Amino acid sequence: MDEVERQIVLHGEEEASQLQALIDATRTRLAELEATCTVVQRNLQALRALIFERLAANSRLRDKLRLLVRCRADLLDSLRRKDEESAAKAEEQFKAEWAHTEREYEKAAAESAQKREISPSDEAEIATLWRKLVKLYHPDKLAQNPEKRETYHKLISAINHARDKGDLTTLREIAADPHGFLLRKGWGDLELQEDRRIEELRKLLKSLEAEIERVSTLLTQLKKSPDYELHQMMQERPELLDEVVDRQQKQIGAEITVLEAQAESLKREIETLTGVPLEEEEE
């Protein structure tokens, strides 16, 4: 190797080293942003779940009454038009639609039960483990090895999913024995050798910067939401949640009163038209 070739190699190694340093710093910044964004999202989800649980009973009754009023209005219209076929379908339609709504409430209740704020100590450990694992097992480490890169993708997806769910147990499991975790999942083996070219490093840096922009925008949007404002205010005034729930309960209660009156009025009209008492819907 002559002097010119040696200088080219040295320059290339220096540029690669500088790019790698920038990538490491950018990835650290991205990890901090994503950790913050995850905490905010989880806190807002927990707040919404708590409000849902407090309002669920009245919300369920209101939704049932809305459906009942609509179906009775359709039934009354069918009876007035002497459309017996549509009238016969009205009750079945109500039962089918309410069964679907009930399933949706059950699903929402099950999901809300899983969304709880995590203790500050667990949150800190989750963030620390996640940053460590992402740095070690990011798929970019194997740009030249598609098969191993796919293994890294699966592992990093499991890591991110655990972070998003607040699953500290899984994060600890991966951190303690990543190789064993992969083998238990049947995802293959780990390959820790790196083979990166300067052009690939440049592309990686650009993609990380774009991801920082995306996460920063998402975090800004979250912090502009009414739920975030409520969550922040509750840190100073925990009793504010009771006030918010009470206000919403009153609004739902007022709507229930109106709907009950509408349902009863429609019931009387239907009974007058048919001469047959209308069966009450079971709770």
Domain boundaries, the chain: 3-274
Query: Do 142 and 175 meet the contact criterion of CB atoms below 8 Å apart?
Result: no
Percent of the chain at pLDDT > 70 equals: 84
Average pLDDT, the chain: 82
> Does 99 have pLDDT greater than 80?
yes
Return the pLDDT at 114.
65
For residues 19 and 4, which has the higher predicted lDDT (pLDDT)? 19
Residue 98 pLDDT level (bands cut at 50, 70, 90)? confident
Residues with Cβ < 8 Å from 230, sequence gap 6 or more? 47, 240, 241, 244
d(CA 264, CA 235): 44
Neighbour-count burial for 167-197, b at 16+ CB within 10 Å, e otherwise: ebebbebbbeebeebbeeeebeebeeeeebe
Indicate the pTM of the whole model. Answer: 0.65
Supply the DSSP string of the chain, one letter for each residue. Answer: --HHHHHHHHHHHHHHHHHHHHHHHHHHHHHHHHHHHHHHHHHHHHHHHHHHHHHHHHHHHHHHHHHHHHHHHHHHHHHHTT-HHHHHHHHHHHHHHHHHHHHHHHHHHHHHHH--PPPHHHHHHHHHHHHHHHHHH-GGGGTT-HHHHHHHHHHHHHHHHHHHHT-HHHHHHHHH-HHHHHHHHT-----------HHHHHHHHHHHHHHHHHHHHHHHHHHTSHHHHHHHHHHH-TTHHHHHHHHHHHHHHHHHHHHHHHHHHHHHHHHHHHSSPPPPPP-
> Does 59 have pLDDT greater than 90?
yes
Return the pLDDT at 137.
78
How many other CB atoms are found less than 10 A from the CB of residue 112?
Answer: 18
Q: Which of 179-193, 196-210, 253-267 has the lowest mean pLDDT?
A: 179-193
> Does 204 have pLDDT greater than 50?
yes
Report the residue count for the chain.
Answer: 283
Place of tokens 């009163």: 257
Residues with Cβ < 8 Å from 237, sequence gap 6 or more? none
**Mean pLDDT to the nearest integer, 143-158:** 76
Query: Do 111 and 40 meet the contact criterion of CB atoms below 8 Å apart?
Result: no
Residue 19 pLDDT level (bands cut at 50, 70, 90)? confident
